[in-house]
Amino acid sequence: MPLLETRDITVRFGGNTAVDGVGLTMDEGQITGLIGPNGAGKTTMFNTITGLQKPASGQVLLDGADITGLSPAKRARRGMARTFQRLELFLSLSVRDNVRVAGDVLRKGSRKQLDEATDAVLERTGLTDIAGRDVSDVPIGRARVVEVARALMTSPRVLLLDEPASGQTERETEAFAEMLTGLAAEGLAICLVEHDLPLVMRLCSAIHVLDYGELIASGTPREIRESPKVIAAYIGTEEAAS
Ligand SMILES: Nc1ncnc2c1ncn2[C@@H]1O[C@H](COP(=O)(O)OP(=O)(O)OP(=O)(O)O)[C@@H](O)[C@H]1O
């Protein structure tokens, strides 16, 4: 059974169908890609999975349980965490406090335990050296890692990342890729929305492709690369399906 599954999700904004009957799955210990040209419906799917967007129809299942009616907070307590395409950090707080605050909200335990958990996450994500800096002074590539660290503070089972590599240098992306591979190896189900297609092809075991709100392909990176529908969807965009 997949850890996370959507069944026949449709989302409409007025007369515009942003997501049209999409069913996709994410497995434990795997990095799953969700790709598609601009406006394809990727962020809308993330919003629907995490409870920020109510679908017109369809279901979201976590571990086989229907969570479609649950609030974002309840989903978070069940192990769902995400990052945002437009960074949603607390700019007046330090890196450490941005990470710590997520644990404050969701973790039980003493102050000392929370401090220790924060240190462990900062270490795990390679942020210890900049922990005391204001997040507003941190380059965007590393600020994206701060968002991931904050998500990890909730001890998620499913982690949804919305364009995490955007704004990163090549070196930062390398370190980031290594971190994601390590997190998946520890059992996390990671879903990656990302325009850096070579990165997606390299990291993901399965990829779902949206185009104009419809799921046009699901498969391994090789199947996706060779899919005529996917190639057609990307023709005319700057991104090459290679
Ligand atoms: N709140 C909203 N109100 C109205 N239309 C919306 C809203 N959010 C998204 N849309 C529309 O829904 C469609 C899907 O948008 P979405 O942001 O999910 O695409 P995306 O694949 O994440 O795009 P991008 O790669 O550019 O981030 C687009 O046509 C978009 O204009």
- How far is residue 52's CA from residue 183's CA, in Å, rounded to a whole number? 25
Instruction: Write the pLDDT tens digit of every residue in 16-39.
Output: 999 999 999 999 999 999 999 999
The residue contributing the CA closest to ligand 1 atom 30 is 39
Residue nearest to atom 2 of ligand 1 (CA): 13
Closest among 176, 205, 214, 207 to 193, alpha carbons compared? 207
Q: Which residues line ligand 1 (CB under 6 A)?
A: 13, 16, 18, 36, 38-44, 85
- Domain locations in the chain as residue ranges: 1-79+156-242, 88-155
Which residue has a Cα nearest atom 7 of ligand 1? 13
The count of C-alpha atoms lying within 13 angstroms of the C-alpha of 129, restricted to the half-sphere facing its C-beta, is: 4
DSSP label at 129? G
pLDDT of 123-177, one tens digit each?
999 999 999 999 999 998 899 999 999 999 999 999 999 999 988 999 999 999 9
117 C-alpha vs ligand 1 centroid, how far in Å?
36
Fold for the domain defined by 1-79+156-242: Rossmann fold (3.40.50)
pTM: 0.91
| Tokens, residue 6 | 């959507």
Task: Tell me how far CA of residue 186 lies from CA of 89, 125, 180, in angstroms.
Answer: 26, 14, 10
Quick one: pLDDT band at residue 241, thresholds 50, 70, 90?
very low
Which residue lies with its CA nearest to atom 10 of ligand 1? 18
Return the number of other C-beta atoms located less than 10 Å from residue 119's C-beta: 15
